[in-house]
Protein backbone atom coordinates (compact mmCIF):
# COMPACT_ATOMS: atom_id res chain seq x y z
CA UNK A 1 0.00 0.00 0.00
CA UNK A 2 2.85 2.30 0.96
CA UNK A 3 4.61 1.49 -2.33
CA UNK A 4 1.45 2.24 -4.36
CA UNK A 5 1.15 5.61 -2.67
CA UNK A 6 4.80 6.39 -3.40
CA UNK A 7 4.32 5.48 -7.07
CA UNK A 8 1.25 7.72 -7.26
CA UNK A 9 3.16 10.63 -5.71
CA UNK A 10 6.05 10.07 -8.13
CA UNK A 11 3.71 10.05 -11.14
CA UNK A 12 1.96 13.22 -9.96
CA UNK A 13 5.28 14.97 -9.45
CA UNK A 14 6.43 13.85 -12.92
CA UNK A 15 3.20 15.12 -14.49
CA UNK A 16 3.58 18.49 -12.76
CA UNK A 17 7.18 18.72 -13.95
CA UNK A 18 6.18 17.96 -17.53
CA UNK A 19 3.41 20.57 -17.42
CA UNK A 20 5.87 23.16 -16.10
CA UNK A 21 8.34 22.36 -18.90
CA UNK A 22 5.63 22.69 -21.54
CA UNK A 23 4.35 25.95 -20.04
CA UNK A 24 7.81 27.51 -20.00
CA UNK A 25 9.08 26.13 -23.30
CA UNK A 26 9.60 28.59 -26.13
CA UNK A 27 7.12 28.11 -28.99
CA UNK A 28 8.49 26.13 -31.93
CA UNK A 29 9.68 28.39 -34.75
CA UNK A 30 7.26 28.78 -37.63
CA UNK A 31 8.10 28.58 -41.27
CA UNK A 32 7.35 31.92 -42.97
CA UNK A 33 3.87 31.95 -44.58
CA UNK A 34 5.10 32.89 -48.05
CA UNK A 35 6.40 29.32 -48.47
CA UNK A 36 2.84 27.99 -48.30
CA UNK A 37 1.50 30.86 -50.42
CA UNK A 38 4.06 30.28 -53.18
CA UNK A 39 3.53 26.51 -53.15
CA UNK A 40 -0.26 26.67 -53.49
CA UNK A 41 -0.25 29.52 -56.03
CA UNK A 42 2.40 27.81 -58.15
CA UNK A 43 0.31 24.64 -58.28
CA UNK A 44 -2.83 26.62 -59.09
CA UNK A 45 -1.22 28.63 -61.90
CA UNK A 46 0.43 25.53 -63.30
CA UNK A 47 -2.95 23.78 -63.43
CA UNK A 48 -4.48 26.86 -65.06
CA UNK A 49 -1.77 27.17 -67.70
CA UNK A 50 -2.04 23.51 -68.69
CA UNK A 51 -5.83 23.64 -69.04
CA UNK A 52 -6.56 27.32 -69.78
CA UNK A 53 -8.41 26.72 -73.04
CA UNK A 54 -10.69 24.20 -71.38
CA UNK A 55 -11.21 26.43 -68.34
CA UNK A 56 -12.14 29.43 -70.48
CA UNK A 57 -14.96 27.34 -71.96
CA UNK A 58 -15.81 25.58 -68.68
CA UNK A 59 -15.15 27.92 -65.72
CA UNK A 60 -16.88 25.50 -63.34
CA UNK A 61 -14.10 22.99 -64.02
CA UNK A 62 -11.56 25.57 -62.91
CA UNK A 63 -13.61 26.49 -59.84
CA UNK A 64 -13.54 22.83 -58.78
CA UNK A 65 -9.77 22.81 -59.11
CA UNK A 66 -9.49 26.05 -57.13
CA UNK A 67 -11.72 24.46 -54.48
CA UNK A 68 -9.54 21.35 -54.31
CA UNK A 69 -6.35 23.37 -53.89
CA UNK A 70 -7.58 26.18 -51.65
CA UNK A 71 -10.04 24.47 -49.30
CA UNK A 72 -7.32 22.98 -47.06
CA UNK A 73 -5.51 26.32 -46.79
CA UNK A 74 -8.33 28.84 -46.29
CA UNK A 75 -9.62 29.73 -42.82
CA UNK A 76 -13.23 29.78 -44.02
CA UNK A 77 -14.59 29.98 -40.47
CA UNK A 78 -12.65 33.18 -39.71
CA UNK A 79 -13.50 34.77 -43.06
CA UNK A 80 -17.19 33.88 -42.68
CA UNK A 81 -17.33 35.47 -39.21
CA UNK A 82 -15.71 38.62 -40.54
CA UNK A 83 -18.16 38.81 -43.44
CA UNK A 84 -21.13 38.36 -41.09
CA UNK A 85 -19.74 41.11 -38.86
CA UNK A 86 -21.94 41.87 -35.84
CA UNK A 87 -24.47 39.27 -36.98
CA UNK A 88 -21.97 36.50 -36.20
CA UNK A 89 -22.43 37.37 -32.50
CA UNK A 90 -26.16 37.98 -32.72
CA UNK A 91 -26.86 34.74 -34.61
CA UNK A 92 -24.11 32.26 -33.63
CA UNK A 93 -26.29 29.35 -34.80
CA UNK A 94 -26.06 30.69 -38.35
CA UNK A 95 -22.27 30.97 -38.52
CA UNK A 96 -21.55 27.33 -39.43
CA UNK A 97 -24.33 27.34 -42.02
CA UNK A 98 -22.99 30.53 -43.54
CA UNK A 99 -19.42 29.20 -43.62
CA UNK A 100 -20.59 26.40 -45.90
CA UNK A 101 -22.68 28.71 -48.10
CA UNK A 102 -19.98 31.36 -48.25
CA UNK A 103 -17.17 29.00 -49.26
CA UNK A 104 -18.46 28.63 -52.82
CA UNK A 105 -18.77 32.38 -53.39
CA UNK A 106 -15.19 32.98 -52.22
CA UNK A 107 -13.81 30.19 -54.41
CA UNK A 108 -15.69 31.51 -57.43
CA UNK A 109 -14.59 35.10 -56.83
CA UNK A 110 -10.93 34.08 -56.64
CA UNK A 111 -11.27 31.77 -59.66
CA UNK A 112 -12.97 34.43 -61.77
CA UNK A 113 -10.28 36.93 -60.84
CA UNK A 114 -7.60 34.58 -62.17
CA UNK A 115 -9.58 33.76 -65.30
CA UNK A 116 -9.96 37.44 -66.10
CA UNK A 117 -6.27 38.29 -65.74
CA UNK A 118 -5.07 37.17 -69.15
CA UNK A 119 -5.58 34.61 -71.91
CA UNK A 120 -1.90 33.71 -71.94
CA UNK A 121 0.20 31.95 -69.31
CA UNK A 122 0.36 33.31 -65.77
CA UNK A 123 3.44 33.08 -63.56
CA UNK A 124 4.60 34.24 -60.15
CA UNK A 125 6.79 37.30 -60.62
CA UNK A 126 7.80 37.81 -56.99
CA UNK A 127 6.85 36.98 -53.41
CA UNK A 128 7.93 39.25 -50.58
CA UNK A 129 9.72 37.58 -47.69
CA UNK A 130 8.43 37.85 -44.13
CA UNK A 131 10.97 39.45 -41.84
CA UNK A 132 12.04 37.49 -38.72
CA UNK A 133 10.72 40.35 -36.57
CA UNK A 134 7.23 40.19 -38.12
CA UNK A 135 7.17 36.41 -37.68
CA UNK A 136 8.34 36.73 -34.06
CA UNK A 137 5.68 39.35 -33.26
CA UNK A 138 2.99 37.09 -34.71
CA UNK A 139 4.18 34.09 -32.75
CA UNK A 140 4.21 36.15 -29.55
CA UNK A 141 0.62 37.27 -30.18
CA UNK A 142 1.51 40.89 -30.95
CA UNK A 143 -0.19 40.67 -34.36
CA UNK A 144 -3.15 38.61 -35.55
CA UNK A 145 -2.18 38.13 -39.21
CA UNK A 146 0.82 38.27 -41.51
CA UNK A 147 0.52 39.94 -44.93
CA UNK A 148 2.23 38.30 -47.90
CA UNK A 149 2.63 40.37 -51.05
CA UNK A 150 2.81 38.55 -54.36
CA UNK A 151 3.03 39.73 -57.95
CA UNK A 152 1.63 37.58 -60.74
CA UNK A 153 3.00 38.23 -64.21
CA UNK A 154 0.73 38.25 -67.27
CA UNK A 155 1.75 38.80 -70.89
CA UNK A 156 1.82 42.58 -70.58
CA UNK A 157 1.64 43.53 -66.91
CA UNK A 158 1.95 42.40 -63.30
CA UNK A 159 -0.93 42.03 -60.84
CA UNK A 160 -0.47 42.62 -57.11
CA UNK A 161 -2.08 40.16 -54.72
CA UNK A 162 -1.94 40.55 -50.94
CA UNK A 163 -2.62 37.45 -48.88
CA UNK A 164 -3.49 37.81 -45.19
CA UNK A 165 -2.25 34.67 -43.43
CA UNK A 166 -3.01 33.07 -40.05
CA UNK A 167 -1.49 29.95 -38.49
CA UNK A 168 -4.25 27.55 -37.41
CA UNK A 169 -4.59 23.76 -37.23
CA UNK A 170 -0.84 23.40 -37.53
CA UNK A 171 -0.45 25.22 -40.85
CA UNK A 172 -0.68 28.63 -42.52
CA UNK A 173 -4.12 29.47 -43.88
CA UNK A 174 -5.55 32.30 -45.93
CA UNK A 175 -7.62 34.78 -43.89
CA UNK A 176 -8.21 37.34 -46.63
CA UNK A 177 -6.97 38.32 -50.06
CA UNK A 178 -6.74 41.66 -51.84
CA UNK A 179 -6.48 41.51 -55.63
CA UNK A 180 -5.51 44.71 -57.44
CA UNK A 181 -6.83 46.81 -54.54
CA UNK A 182 -10.07 44.85 -54.11
CA UNK A 183 -10.33 43.60 -50.53
CA UNK A 184 -12.34 40.41 -51.02
CA UNK A 185 -13.51 39.88 -47.41
CA UNK A 186 -14.49 43.53 -47.05
CA UNK A 187 -16.45 43.43 -50.30
CA UNK A 188 -18.37 40.36 -49.17
CA UNK A 189 -18.99 41.97 -45.78
CA UNK A 190 -20.58 44.96 -47.52
CA UNK A 191 -22.72 42.64 -49.65
CA UNK A 192 -23.85 40.71 -46.57
CA UNK A 193 -24.84 43.93 -44.78
CA UNK A 194 -26.74 45.13 -47.87
CA UNK A 195 -28.58 41.79 -48.04
CA UNK A 196 -29.56 42.05 -44.36
CA UNK A 197 -30.86 45.59 -44.89
CA UNK A 198 -32.94 44.36 -47.80
CA UNK A 199 -34.25 41.05 -46.46
CA UNK A 200 -34.15 41.85 -42.70
CA UNK A 201 -33.53 38.26 -41.56
CA UNK A 202 -30.12 36.63 -41.06
CA UNK A 203 -31.37 33.03 -41.66
CA UNK A 204 -32.89 34.10 -44.98
CA UNK A 205 -29.64 35.69 -46.18
CA UNK A 206 -27.60 32.68 -45.05
CA UNK A 207 -29.90 30.15 -46.73
CA UNK A 208 -30.15 32.17 -49.94
CA UNK A 209 -26.59 33.49 -50.11
CA UNK A 210 -25.80 31.77 -53.43
CA UNK A 211 -28.84 33.22 -55.21
CA UNK A 212 -28.22 36.65 -53.66
CA UNK A 213 -24.63 36.62 -54.97
CA UNK A 214 -25.83 35.42 -58.36
CA UNK A 215 -28.35 38.25 -58.60
CA UNK A 216 -25.63 40.73 -57.56
CA UNK A 217 -23.28 39.41 -60.26
CA UNK A 218 -26.00 39.72 -62.93
CA UNK A 219 -26.67 43.30 -61.81
CA UNK A 220 -22.97 44.18 -62.09
CA UNK A 221 -22.84 42.86 -65.67
CA UNK A 222 -25.63 45.25 -66.70
Residue 3 lies in a domain: no
pLDDT of residue 109: 85
Residue 171 lies in a domain: yes
Distance CA 73, CA 121 (A): 24
> Residues 188-207: pLDDT tens digits?
999 999 999 999 999 999 99
Residue 1 lies in a domain: no
pTM for the full predicted model: 0.78
CB 166 within 8 A of CB 75: yes
What sign does the CA torsion over 72, 190, 118, 219 have?
positive
162: enclosing H helix or E strand: strand 158-168
Residue 127 lies in a domain: yes
Neighbours of 122 (CB within 10 A): 20
pLDDT of residue 214: 84
Residue 10 lies in a domain: no
Residue 16 lies in a domain: no
pLDDT of residue 10: 37
Distance CA 14, CA 17 (A): 5
Residue 159 lies in a domain: yes
Distance CA 199, CA 194 (A): 9
Distance CA 83, CA 193 (A): 9
Intervals of the chain under pLDDT 50: 2-27
Residue 110 lies in a domain: yes
What is the CATH number for 69?
A: 3.10.450.710
pLDDT of residue 222: 57
Give CA angle at 212 (95, 61), nearest 5°. Answer: 90
pLDDT of residue 26: 42
| Structural domain harbouring 102 | 34-221
> Residues 6-45: pLDDT tens digits?
444 434 433 333 333 333 334 456 789 999 999 999 998 9
pLDDT of residue 38: 94
Counted domains in the chain: 1
pLDDT of residue 221: 59
Amino acid sequence: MKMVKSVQQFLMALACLMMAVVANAAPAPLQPPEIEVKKITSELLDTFNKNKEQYKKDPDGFFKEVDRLLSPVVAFDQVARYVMGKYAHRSPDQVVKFESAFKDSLIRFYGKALLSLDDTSLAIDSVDKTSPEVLKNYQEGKSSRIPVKMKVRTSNSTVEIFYSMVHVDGRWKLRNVTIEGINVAKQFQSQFADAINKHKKVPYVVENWASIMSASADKDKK
